[in-house]
Chains A and B, each alone.
Chain A
Amino acid sequence: MSILEYELGNKPGPPDFDRVEVDPITLRVLGGAFNAIAQEMAGVLFRMSYSSIIRESEDLGAGIFDAQGRELCESESTPMHIGSLPWYIRGFLYRLGDDVKEGDVIMHNHPFLGASHTPDIAIAVPIFVEGEHVGFAAVTAHVLDVGGSFPGINADAFDMYAEAKIYNGLRWYEEGVLNEDLDRMIFDNVRTETMNRGDLNAMLAACELGRDRFVALCERYGIDVVMSAAYEWMDYSERMLRAEIEKIPDGTYRAPTGWLDDDAQNRDVRLRVETAVEVKGDSITIDLTGSHPEVPTGYNVPFEGSLLVSAYYAVRTVLLDEITFPESVPQNDGIFRIVDVIAPKGTIFNPNFPRACFSRFCQTQRVVDNVILALSEPLPEQTTAGNSAGIHFCSYSGFQEDTGQYWIYLEVNEGSYGGRYGKDAMDSVDNLMANTRNNPIEELDMRFPVRCEQYELRPEPAAPGKWRGGMGIIRRNRFVVDGTYSCEGDRQTDPPHGIFGGWDGLVASCRKNPETSDQEVLHAKVTGIPFSAGEFIEFREPNAAGYGDPLERPAEMVRDDILDGFTTIEMARDAYGVVFTTDAPVTLNQLGVDEDATERLRAKLRADRGAGSLTTYYEGRELPSASAPVSQAGNAAFGMS
């Protein structure tokens, strides 16, 4: 039972189950029903929950699993959540063994026993059919606070015990009866009791609904038919993915070395990320050997609940893209069976117990980004240029005298996608494994003492390419009471990587009180920074990289880019080689391409130069001002200048 003896990444293998024949229509109906149950569970969770990180951002996952944790289905919420649930289940079963009874409600967040990270708490309810334990209905969701050293986010925690209270297969309810002392222990030790209680109740309701729906399916079609169909669908997904892997020429494909900013304490040490993708026949291995040793902060990655999930995600998304791949392939255990991951023990991707690993998202996103870059060699038409592959995930908090609890607002600041074959990138959107919703500004301003004073595309142009990179956002948030700010972020030094002649992107930045006399540049990862009422923060998220030679972009498209503010006249000249008939300030719809001059300039540029980098282009320059009237009025209201 010692945590040190737990075998990491141990998949249960094929199910030991005598399948019955399922006719094709029933198979499709049940496949649809599984999916519908997962969606319905997620729907209950986000509609009923209290915290905005769940109900507005949908930072949650829901699904149905067999008794060994094989996934039958998952909700279309945030991809990071679901592939992790099978590992949570195996993790708490390591603690509980066979001691799982009808009516139990299990709570789990142990990062060395399958959890994605400690604030993503799982609630699981066992499903019994005719007295037999056949599976689990389970959800994970990000709760506001788990009693770590600082409210909300703890990127620099000393160890696992400092980052959170650990729930290791706890039975919140035993056979339907609330475990009252445990309940007190759980909710007395978090800063946001009311919110956590509301959210955990919603999670429980979602699980109970999933369980009841699944039991009803079994009563109607028979447990044998239902489980047979479930396993057929897993085989189907595995078959489809293997067929696509088989099409890639055997070989080892490497991404350029990626660099993470720092570990949240040692600011001058960047962390190395090495990624090789090995394809052999219909199997694929992601090898992270050579990546940085584990760090003494919370910037390590739980191997099972986070790293494996990112590998599944990367491979599936490139090879079975939901839009370009003609068949709809469900996400289930079949996808997870195939992908192997090597990360040597003692590196940031496979840390030793009890290292802290509260903040792991940016690192796993970089693994996905690197896998995509590595595969751009054999699959140029299925991959993208370098993505933002990072976030600023931040916590705004303070103590409320009237309730005796903290207020905590968690925010995910989105990135952008790299350019892609045949079309421009997606701007200002949650990137790769992130797929949360933003919190409406009007919701934020009304519920929290934080005011959003700017939220739009950042003023710098998109990374040039035949197909341009995506634009990131600029966002300014002001504390209107005294409070504390923490953040886990990255990508402030190493820009998204351009491919096939496209430019590298533009790095992120984070500043406190920008364009005032108190301006301060912040690291991406900070913990417990005090903000006085009136002080504010600005994020600029990366402009992702371009795909293909910008000289091949039609001049008319560059003209449109200027009119829409996606690029500038200077960038059109320097990167795209496009010259206009007027240098006068652009008014709407008045801008003509000088075709002869463009042709001459493009010929010259073609001879002169290779791909550029937006980050280099802006090096040493002041960031273009973005100080809107709202920001200035906000400064004035708080006496800042």
Chain B
Amino acid sequence: MKRVGVDVGGTFTDLIYLDDETGKILVHKLPTTPVDPSEGTVAGIVELTNEAEIDPSTLDQVFHGTTIATNIVIEHNGATVGLITTEGYRDILHIARHKKPHNFSNYQDLPWQRYPIVRRRYRLTVPERVLNDGTVLVPLDEEKAREQVRKLKEAGVEAVAVCFLFSFLNDEHEARVAEIVREEFPDAFLSVSSEVLPQYREYERFSTVCLNAFVGPKVATYVRRLEDQLQAMGVKTGVHIMTSASGVATAEGAINRPVNTLMSGPVAGVVGGIWAGKQAGFENVITLDVGGTSADIGLAQGGRLRMKHLLDTKVGPYQAMIPMVDVDTIGAGGGSIAYVDQGGIFRVGPRSAGAVPGPAAYDRGGSEPTATDAMVNLGWLLPEGFLGGDMEIRPELAETAYREGPAAAIDMSIEEASMGAVEILTHSMVQSIEENSVRKGFDPREFALVAEGGAGPLFAATIAAEVGTPTVLVPPYPGITSAMGLLATDMVYEYVTTKYQRASQLDRASFQASFEELEAQARQQLEEDGVPDDRMIIQRVCDCRYLGQGYELRLDAPSGDIDDAWVEKLSADFHDAHEREYTRRFDDVDIELPNIRVRGIGLMPELTVPEADKGDGDAQRAVHHEAEAWFRVSGELVRLPTSYYDRSNLRAGDRIEGPGIINQYDTTTVLPPGFSAEIDRFGNIVMAVGTGGSAGAAR
């Protein structure tokens, strides 16, 4: 197969091409085009296929990961959303679950109130009410609905969500209002709860459906353009987009339910990090993917992805009731802007200069001091050592940004202010890693930190020293680890239907029919994707709980006909699973099955990469520059003679002692004083974390 993985981040678009037959791998990187990110994506594919000397029409798969939806939520710059909901229940989104995020705080914010997805003025109600059996208590007032839709249109909203109680049992009222929206306000992006998420629990559903509307217009525009342009250049397979659950969505699926792609990019980063770790011999990894705008942090023990519990699935502070890999995103990246706030507090991020206008030193219109500029000032980033010269760095602009910005505001030297900015940003990443590791009982000393993204290797050493991971792993192409993850994953589709039956009274025929229907859908999708029969796996999954419980366990279900033996086997498996999960079993209690699911998996060829050339152990050959750079050693800011290595000239077996800076096409690795590094047989930099000095650890 000829495959392309494209990962669009806030700052860069990364691509990888793989020909499974010949083992040929090419990587490519270009700036993200924020106004229309599909431009960069398409340009990248053109450049990459040119480089591979193939016609785009011969590609078998284009697999895409994107942080577009995530960034919209984090930067809170989605569409202006209006909500049409049931009269008498206007504030479901405002009340949420009436629970505070923090027990011991009178000064916390409730994000759903302080930064609402739908402002209260745009939450309008109409008379209607469906009851708990799907019957209608209050018929829909269509005239009122029309009036409210017009009001929203006049007010200038861009997207309309329609959320009524019990619409998962009877969708007629929602469907009718959807029609009215299409008539009155055809330009609005429409998000209807019974279509997007036909599941009970109104707050979680409304929140998810409104998030869908919030990110919808931008994501839909993007995916449509991308699909059109790929078609125009002859790509026949269409584009597949990674979902938050590490499955895939077709373009059509992503346009209708953009909410499912919210964690697409970050999840690809975790998958790529796990793959990189396994290859280098580390089964336990903490993945740190730092781009221009945000940092994604994941953790995998024993090489396995961890899924979030359904009630913990959030994007930023907002509830999204969709299956999601456990990955945490914070607003910290190379483009994070440093500033001194009104109270005199030095802060960095979450506002980012992104790709445009970008860091001051890039001279692309940005003048505010970013983390990248700080690293230029510290001597970690060289004018000529970046992107193989594609992108020029002008140090004097970075210096000006800090001299006139934070350095002036708090009366510090430029280097002190620059190091301060790096340390503040590092601290926020350290906190997030701790929340995902030590606070969940994982000992970071048993993990390797995988540095990913354009900026991950710049921060990784300092962070590892603070968190306590003994090893940092920098893969050969850190910037394209997420894109690599896209090629390291299988194609997984999941189909679900609600059954609400008890094992004791299971309607075997209806279960049989439902499973067969879902299986046919999965098979058809995989066939459309060109997956041959022998690479196809169809799995059944049941959500099960003891009758009376409120939360389900997800259980692999037996294949074959739904008969007494099937029910018996499923029941036995559930009792075992419940005992494993909760230490107890109740063999005489009936089992309830709210949902059944089918997973269609298209197995992809295993991702293998060639080994690196072996060297003589002397890294000196790779030194392309000697200069002084700033580091923190035992609390003091010092200037040390530092070697700069060209990574393309490093060979397997080479050893480097810090301080050192390793430059490559898509990133720069900082090796602080006291750290050492060795190149393994796949070309990974395996860094032993020092204890004495570090880049910024000793605060």
Bits for B93-129, please: 1 = Cβ < 8 Å to A, else 0.
Answer: 0110111101111111110010000011110000111
Q: Chain B contacts of A442 at CB under 8 A? A: 132, 165-166, 200-202
Bits for A314-350, please: 1 = Cβ < 8 Å to B, else 0.
Answer: 0011101111100000010000000000000000000
A615 to chain B, nearest CB (A): 22
Q: Chain B contacts of A382 at CB under 8 A? A: 106-107
Contact B119 A322 (CB under 8 A): no
User: Which one of A106-114, A290-298, A570-578, A625-633 contacts B?
Assistant: A625-633
A373 to chain B, nearest CB (A): 12
User: Which one of B83-91, B170-178, B358-366, B370-378 contacts A?
Assistant: B83-91
Contact A321 B106 (CB under 8 A): yes
Contact partner, B439, options A36, A331, A443, A455, Cβ 8 Å: A36
B588 to chain A, nearest CB (A): 12
A268 to chain B, nearest CB (A): 33
Number of A interface residues, CB 8 Å?
90
Q: Chain A contacts of B106 at CB under 8 A? A: 317-318, 321, 372, 382-384, 417, 420
A470 to chain B, nearest CB (A): 9
Contact partner, B105, options A205, A322, A437, Cβ 8 Å: A322
Q: Is A429 an interface residue (CB 8 A)?
A: yes
Q: Chain A contacts of B99 at CB under 8 A? A: 58, 429-430, 435-438
A625 to B372, CA, bound (A): 58
Contact A455 B156 (CB under 8 A): no
Q: Chain A contacts of B203 at CB under 8 A? A: 440
Contact B94 A428 (CB under 8 A): yes
A317 to B102, CA, bound (A): 10
Q: Is B53 an interface residue (CB 8 A)?
A: no
Q: Is B445 an interface residue (CB 8 A)?
A: yes
Tell me which residues from 543 to 574 in chain B have a Cβ below 8 Å from any Cβ of chain A: 546, 548-551
Q: Chain B contacts of A79 at CB under 8 A? A: 103-104
Contact A32 B550 (CB under 8 A): no
Contact A50 B107 (CB under 8 A): no
Contact A55 B121 (CB under 8 A): no
Contact partner, B129, options A58, A430, A630, Cβ 8 Å: A630
Contact A322 B108 (CB under 8 A): yes
Contact A629 B129 (CB under 8 A): yes
Contact B86 A320 (CB under 8 A): no
Contact A426 B100 (CB under 8 A): yes
Q: Is A513 an interface residue (CB 8 A)?
A: no
Q: Chain B contacts of A517 at CB under 8 A? A: none
**B: contact size bracket:** 35 or more
Contact A322 B438 (CB under 8 A): no
User: Which one of B39-47, B579-587, B669-677 contacts A?
Assistant: B579-587
Q: Is B51 an interface residue (CB 8 A)?
A: no
Given A414-B98, A441-B165, A446-B132, verify A33-B438 contact (CB < 8 Å). yes
Bits for A589-627, please: 1 = Cβ < 8 Å to B, else 0.
Answer: 100000000000000000000000000000000000000
Contact A56 B550 (CB under 8 A): yes
Q: Is B232 an interface residue (CB 8 A)?
A: no
Q: Is B610 an interface residue (CB 8 A)?
A: no
A255 to chain B, nearest CB (A): 15
Contact A630 B94 (CB under 8 A): no
Contact B154 A588 (CB under 8 A): yes
Contact A44 B438 (CB under 8 A): no
Contact partner, B583, options A208, A438, A443, Cβ 8 Å: A208
Contact partner, B582, options A48, A566, A588, A633, Cβ 8 Å: A48
Q: Is B468 an interface residue (CB 8 A)?
A: yes
Q: Chain A contacts of B445 at CB under 8 A? A: 25, 29
Using a Cβ cutoff of 8 Å, how many contacts connect chains A and B?
A: 230
Q: Is A587 an interface residue (CB 8 A)?
A: yes
Given A321-B104, A436-B98, A441-B165, verify A426-B201 contact (CB < 8 Å). no
A365 to B97, CA, bound (A): 20
Contact B104 A428 (CB under 8 A): no
Given A205-B582, A455-B88, verify A429-B468 contact (CB < 8 Å). no
Contact B107 A321 (CB under 8 A): yes
Chain A residue at minimum C-beta to C-beta distance from B579: A205
B672 to chain A, nearest CB (A): 19
A496 to chain B, nearest CB (A): 13
Bits for B572-608, please: 1 = Cβ < 8 Å to A, else 0.
Answer: 0000000001111010000000000000000000000
Contact A322 B86 (CB under 8 A): no
Q: Chain A contacts of B581 at CB under 8 A? A: 44
Q: Is B92 an interface residue (CB 8 A)?
A: yes
Q: Is A185 an interface residue (CB 8 A)?
A: no
Contact A443 B120 (CB under 8 A): no
Q: Is A198 an interface residue (CB 8 A)?
A: yes
Q: Chain B contacts of A121 at CB under 8 A? A: none
Contact A563 B121 (CB under 8 A): yes
Q: Is A195 an interface residue (CB 8 A)?
A: yes
Q: Is A564 an interface residue (CB 8 A)?
A: yes
Given A36-B441, A426-B100, A633-B138, verify A564-B120 contact (CB < 8 Å). yes
Contact partner, A323, options B108, B440, B583, Cβ 8 Å: B108
Bits for A191-219, please: 1 = Cβ < 8 Å to B, else 0.
Answer: 00011001001101100110011000000
Contact A630 B104 (CB under 8 A): no
Q: Supply 15 A–B pairs (Cβ within 8 Å), ascending by A.
A: A32-B434, A32-B438, A48-B551, A50-B548, A195-B548, A204-B584, A205-B582, A213-B441, A372-B106, A427-B94, A427-B110, A436-B99, A442-B165, A566-B120, A628-B87
Binding site for A on B (CB under 8 A): 86-92, 94-95, 97-100, 102-110, 113, 119-122, 127-129, 131-132, 137-138, 141, 151-152, 154-156, 165-166, 200-204, 309, 434, 437-441, 443-445, 468, 546, 548-551, 581-584, 586
Q: List the 8 shortest-distance A-B pairs measured between CB atoms, nearest first.
A: A32-B438, A628-B88, A36-B441, A629-B127, A588-B155, A564-B120, A445-B132, A55-B550
